[in-house]
A = this chain, B = another copy of it.
Amino acid sequence: MKQEIPYKIYLEEQEMPKQWYNVRADMKKKPSPLLNPATLNPITLKELSGIFCEELARQELDDSTPYFDIPDEIRDFYRMYRPSPLVRAYCLEKKLDTPAHIYYKFEGNNTSGSHKLNSAIAQAYYAKKQGLKGVTTETGAGQWGTALSMACSYFDLDCQVYMVKCSYEQKPFRREVMRTYGAKVTPSPSMHTEVGRQINAEFPGTTGSLGCAISEAVEAAMTQEGYRYVLGSVLSQVLLHQSIIGLETKTALEKYGIKADMIIGCAGGGSNLGGLISPFAGDMLRGKADYEIIAVEPASCPSLTRGVYAYDFCDTGKVCPLSKMYTLGSSFIPSANHAGGLRYHGMSATVSELYDQGLLTARSVEQTEVFKAAETFARVEGILPAPESSHAIKVAIDEAVKCKETGEVKNIVFGLTGTGYFDMMAYQKYNDGQMSDYVPSDEELKTAFAKLPRTKE
């Protein structure tokens, strides 16, 4: 195998992006504004700054500035694990016997094991700069909590993590990574907060959801002096920070004169997908290029493919601002049989709006076929992928196989968000042939939709 394109394209440090890209600035029709849950009016900077750090609240509300400088302190931290490689999947191509060229942007080469660190370090930086004592957050699969605990440890901030109970139990080792970085980890719903006690009373024995954990973390932030809440997905500020994934990918492709035909990302709350596609969607919005962008979500939590586009609460406890998004309803709790992340009921407002405008399509896939794709990928590419990332692998493989049938030489780029080293219980289920699939019934979704809030829009 001799080729001009290396197995791994690493940018030089000086080629790393110096600014994040805010795709909203190039959208003619903007994502709808966040609403204050008390008044249902668009939330103000002052109101939002009670929950988030001020600079992050500012980034959240700014839909017109296209580029934000990345502070030097954050760029220094990025240099510890970035630039991440854009990998040409030569071995997978060979295994599939496809004419397609497959590339993946691998974000798992850091201890948090995923792309989450890109935003965690930014949020910790702004919290520190504001003179806060600490931050609170929720975590599902544990990747965001791990990332945030690493970031807080770096800036010497207190870090309090509410971890979705089923993940807390399925992934005990994640908790220890967080503790090694000095974080305090509480299974959610807990009895530490008012909202946690309410949820436990209403749904005894619940295994929790991201929505519940968010409510607890927000309450914890608002009831402690010198604390703010931070969130690892969904928000526009997170997509802004995660744009570094897409910017690096684009630079790496351009460096080797590669034109992507198709860009594929897994989608839970939309942080990875939004970050990966932002600069490419920006090209499309400016009429500079065209790409086929595909969001891949689990069939057990299908917000884009089966949700409605409406204002909804971001959390179960209804303490967060409302966001207009593709949603299954904040009362929807995905089946406990679903392995790992991508359990969120809604989708980032920006990704939702891009989807509504037709800039991307979406597919839902069942988890057994996702793990099959993960196994195939692991065995030839040498990386054991996270279940979340494997949703993107599944569709990338499907598309590469289609290319074999049609003979098309497409350039397929997908986001490999992380590694599955802390997901071995799910792999064990798959290895033992005991993994099952779950697709919510129409009735189940209808019940959740009926509880959506009524807003002016």
Which A residues lie at the B interface, using CB under 8 A? 1, 6-8, 10, 12-13, 72, 76-77, 79-81, 90-91, 109-111, 113, 117, 150, 153-154, 172-173, 176-177, 179-182, 375, 378-384, 419, 421-422, 424-425, 427-428, 430-431
Contact = CB atoms under 8 A, between A and B. Distances in A.
Given A177-B427, A179-B428, A182-B379, 14 more contacts: A1-B72, A6-B13, A7-B13, A7-B79, A7-B80, A80-B381, A91-B154, A109-B109, A150-B382, A176-B427, A177-B424, A179-B427, A180-B375, A180-B427
Given A176-B431, A422-B421, A79 B6 contact: yes
B80 A382 contact: yes
Nearest to A72: B1
A209 to B, nearest CB: 25
Closest 7 pairs between A and B when the two form their complex, measured CB to CB? A173-B424, A7-B79, A176-B424, A421-B421, A111-B384, A153-B379, A6-B13
Nearest to A381: B80
A346 B12 CA distance: 42
A111 B378 contact: yes
A179 B150 CA distance: 30
Nearest to A80: B382
A111 B419 contact: yes
A10 B7 contact: no
A111 B383 contact: yes
A179 B379 contact: no
Contacts of A81: 382
A295 B177 CA distance: 28
B181 A378 contact: yes
Which of A117, A153, A180, A419: most chain B CB closer than 10 A? A180
19 contacts: A1-B72, A6-B12, A6-B79, A8-B79, A80-B91, A111-B383, A111-B421, A150-B382, A153-B379, A154-B379, A172-B424, A173-B425, A176-B431, A179-B427, A179-B431, A180-B378, A180-B430, A181-B378, A421-B422
Nearest to A12: B6
Given A6-B79, A10-B10, A13-B6, A176 B428 contact: yes
A405 B75 CA distance: 31
Contact of A76 (B1, B72, B109, B150): B1
A63 B111 CA distance: 40
B80 A384 contact: no
A77 B7 CA distance: 10
Contacts of A381: 80
Nearest to A1: B76
Contacts of A154: 91, 379-380, 382
A218 to B, nearest CB: 27
A90 B75 CA distance: 13
A111 B79 contact: no
A419 B421 CA distance: 11
A121 to B, nearest CB: 9
A434 to B, nearest CB: 13
B181 A379 contact: yes
Which of A76, A113, A384: most chain B CB closer than 10 A? A384
A375 B424 CA distance: 24
